[in-house]
Amino acid sequence: MTDGPHRKFGRFSLEPRDVGRIETRHRRIATPLPVPESIPILEKILRHEPPSMACQPPVLWHRAVGSSVEDRFGNRWIDFSSCVLVANAGHAHPKVVARIRELLDRGHLAAYVFPHEERAALVEKLAGIAPPGLGSVFLLTTGSEAVECAIKLVRAWGLRSGRDIIVSFSGGFHGRTMGSQLAGGIPPLKAWLGGEDPRFVQVPFPDGYLQEDTSFGSFERALAESHVDASRVAGILSETYLGIGPDFFPDAYARALRAWCDRHGALLALDEVQSGFGRTGKLFAFEHHGIVPDLIVCGKGISSSLPLAAVLGRPEVFALHGPGSMTSTHSASPLPVAAALGSLEAIIEGGLVERAAALGPLLERGLARIAARWPARMGAVRSRGLVGGVRLVKPGTRDPDPDTAHPVVEAAFRKGLLLFAPVGLGGGCIKVAPPLSIEEEALNEGLDALEEAFEEVLG
């Protein structure tokens, strides 16, 4: 932290600025930003936490309901982050709050792995919404932990026949623990590991942008170039859509990937931590491709709030681990489990999957409108359902431009819109992921504010 006129919260200025009053049904900016009274609290974070915890706009969250975030100083933002794709049902959805309150009133806050009724109800519910044949469920706390579990399951499955390699994709993000980052495909995030593990192999993701060849032949050629024989592959681990874009598999490629695993006896594990629970207009994003994986890694939107994750999969894969080999201190902790029961009720019975599908074209058109105004600065603009992204590039190149993406996020913050810009692959991508419960009017207003932010930065 520095003093004087250059104080920063990460890359965001801590110098209060009078941005003018905004008052609409969905936004209210009534103070200078950042709010002067919030700065001593933000500086405590800077003083005691690692720099990585100061990477979002300097909003002191006080209350979040639906698609709105409020501070305690009278300001309100439209949330296009969903807490990084967590609040699928919306912030503080009444069904989620009611489920949590019931356990608080009962006095049931922790259980280790002792049984409780909510745990039984949730695993039954998850098994019921999974495709047929994926009836085993293991509850954990975070997406990274669930990915680690999937890696363990794939490895155990493969080692029975001497298979020890897990194939994943360049640009993929699976978490921040050691195993999840070895499987990840963003080299700068793996520098701390001190080297690669040859049992984790990455191949290009067929995004049609950085990797122009989207044929499945590119997958097989990449394995050959890495000297990987199919007989050594225990499984393939991939985000169902690449979160950094978002980038989506071509349907034919996804089906060929499933067929390749079947042909060679490898497992297909799909990371749905970002993409699951209605985000793309399907309950699970792999449904768009007409395929079924062997393992589904879940997190984030599963509870729309408290930390919870899960791995769903084939019982014969889970059966390789006996008592004690797959437990976690807070696995199936009562409050997150209760939140997940409420979230699933809101998303599935409340029609939010269908709502994401219905609002998807509106988001797509809004991003396309912005891209059309500054075509030289747009590398790729993608969306499906209620997740989208704008990759900003340096003019005349495909080099990411984080030095433009960041000011756009900061300008949007001053206009009453909250965004986040992932740092992977050099940064430069602005992600748009509002709660699935967002009102159409609020979505349109947020897109207008985003365009104004681009106008302020790019002219």
231-277 pLDDT, tens per residue?
A: 999 999 999 999 989 999 999 999 999 999 999 999 999 999 999 99
Distance CA 266, CA 263 (A): 8
Average pLDDT over residues 84-97: 98
Give CA separation, 128 vs 52, 143, 427, in Å: 38, 21, 38
Q: Supply angle C-alpha 408, 88, 31, rounded to 5.
A: 45
Distance CA 356, CA 346 (A): 13
Domain 26-52+60-79+359-458 has CATH 3.40.50.1970: no
pLDDT at 321: 82
Q: What is the mean pLDDT of residues 151-177?
A: 96
Pairing of strands 165-169, 200-203: parallel
Every domain of the chain with CATH number 3.40.640.10 lies at 94-349
d(C-alpha 296, C-alpha 294), whole Å: 7
Residue 422, pLDDT score: 73
CA distance between the termini of the chain: 31
Structure tokens of 439?
């009102």
Q: Does domain 94-349 have CATH number 3.40.640.10?
A: yes
Phi, psi dihedrals of residue 195, rounded to the nearest 5°: 145, 160
Max Cα distance, the chain (Å): 66
pLDDT of residue 6: 63
Q: Are 454 and 400 in contact (CB under 8 A)?
A: no
Structure tokens at 189: 């995030």
Cβ atoms 234, 223 nearer than 8 A: no
Average pLDDT over residues 32-52: 96
pLDDT for 424 beyond 70 = no
Start and end residues for every CATH 3.90.1150.10 domain found in the chain:
26-52+60-79+359-458
